Structure 1
Amino acid sequence: MTSSRDDYGRQNLFQDSGYFEAADEGTTLSQPEDRLGDEDDRSPQWHGGLSFGLLVLRLVLGGTLGAHGLQKVFGLFGGPGISELSRILGDQGYTSQTTLLSWLGGVTEIAGGALLVLGLFTPAAAAALLAVTANAVYLQYREGFFLGDGSGFEYHLVLAGIAFALLFTGPGGISVDTNTPWRRRPVPFGIAGLVLAAAAVVAVTFVFRR
């Protein structure tokens, strides 16, 4: 049996957690629907820990792949540049338009990474980066899971997993996308992004590996 002091302590703990929003004074909430209201009319709520965690994921994924894109397109950070990347793609089994594919991959990583860091058009950015990393997993899976001598796919799988998660969580409160439909209802946009990412992987495989 609990005392009123215990109940009061639990209530204060819940209110201090950052996931509690007090109702306006004089408002009676008799049903769950009264608290929720119309989902489309609700403004996004601030959840400090969740928003910060999603920001970290966006910075890690967007920053990492954005840097890889700069390596591919401009040869920065000791990267190969377009011509060398085109040759590498030829060695990996791509037989058609490897220069075009190099540009597509590099620009996608730069643009998608920048958008993800900003939290702008997050579903599109996450879907684009998911397509890039999923394609990398497809290329490397025959080499085994662990990196070892650099040939395993575990690294690409981790990045793909982050992109996949961000598709369905949305960008969080620390983002440009704060008051957008995909922030308030990320799941439908996540499903659409997943379909587009899968279609992009299939298209790259069949068009550039003929």
Structure 2
Amino acid sequence: MTVPSDRYANDESDGPTAAFPAGAFDSSGFTAAESVDTRSGPDARPADQWHGSLDFGLFVLRVALGGLMIAHGLQKFGLLDGPGINGFAQVLTSMGFTGPTTLLAWVTALAEVGGGALLVLGLFTPLGAAAVLGVLSNAVYSKFDSGFFAATGGFEFDLFLALAAFAVLFTGSGRIAIDKNTPWRRRPWPFGLAALVLSAAASAAVILLCR
């Protein structure tokens, strides 16, 4: 069967098309997820557009979690009716920590205040969430033998906050944040995973060296 020679004369499949515009593919040949919107007409919208309810929800989550951690950290510095560094060092000793508890108290307080502040601001959010998650992971581990419920001294509340920090690692800060134009806000998965590894390593080091 003979194919007419002019059948593909006007074929422009090697160039940009309406379905796949210029720049739609990266160097690997795969479509870049944020560069192509498969919708058309009035429903079409640019990638990375403002999502009011989602971004506001992430903002509330960050501020609530970060604010709570800042408050607990300030208590360790002796503010807000807290025990101060020396008092918290004694608490750590009673929880089974045998290492340099005064140094550990300083590190914990700084991680809570610093990590909480980063979460509230939405600045270097993966690092802030990792710092908070590291502290809370050790709190859960230390209270594990006391059971689950907070009323009996268990780890219920610490676990809830730890899961919130874990979630922020992989959702990113949202657009109501200083991080709004950063790679780790647009693609939180790889940065969240790296921060999770860092947090887990720090928690494991504290457990192995200070208990």
Map of 1:69-108 to 2, 5 A cutoff? 69-73=73-77, 75-108=78-111
Counterparts in 2 of 1:63 and 1:158: CA distance versus 1, 3 Å: same
Q: Normalization by structure 2: what TM-score?
A: 0.80
Structure 2 gaps of 5+ residues are 1-15, 36-45
Counterparts in 2 of 1:131 and 1:178: CA distance versus 1, 3 Å: same
2:104 corresponds to which letter in structure 1? L
Residue equivalent to 2:166: 164
RMSD between superposed Cα atoms in Å: 2.4
State yes or no: 1:52 paired with 2:56. yes
Q: 2:72 aligns with which of 68, 71, 94?
A: 68
1:10-29 deviations in whole A, cap 9, x for unaligned?
A: xxxxxxxxxxxxxxxxx974
Q: Which has the higher contact order (CA 8 A, sep 6+)?
A: 1
State yes or no: 1:133 paired with 2:118. no
Aligned residue pairs: how many? Answer: 181
1:207 deviates by: 1.5
1:197 corresponds to which letter in structure 2? S
Deviating runs (4+, > 3 A) in structure 1?
31-44
1:45 deviates by: 2.2
Could you tell me how far apart the structure 2 residues matched to 1:96 and 1:133 are?
A: 18
- Identical pairs, percent: 54
Could you tell me how far apart the structure 2 residues matched to 1:28 and 1:70 are?
A: 58
Could you tell me how far apart the structure 2 residues matched to 1:145 and 1:68 are?
A: 20
Residue equivalent to 2:4: none
Q: Which has the higher helix share?
A: 1
1:78 deviates by: 1.1
1:38 deviates by: 3.7
Residue equivalent to 2:19: 30
1:110 corresponds to which letter in structure 2? V
1:145-181 deviations in whole A, cap 9, x for unaligned?
A: 11114x1111001100000000000000100001101
Q: Normalization by structure 1: what TM-score?
A: 0.80
1:152 corresponds to which letter in structure 2? G
Residue equivalent to 1:4: none
**Is 29-38 or 166-175 further displaced after alignment?**
29-38
Counterparts in 2 of 1:172 and 1:95: CA distance versus 1, 3 Å: same
Residue equivalent to 1:16: none
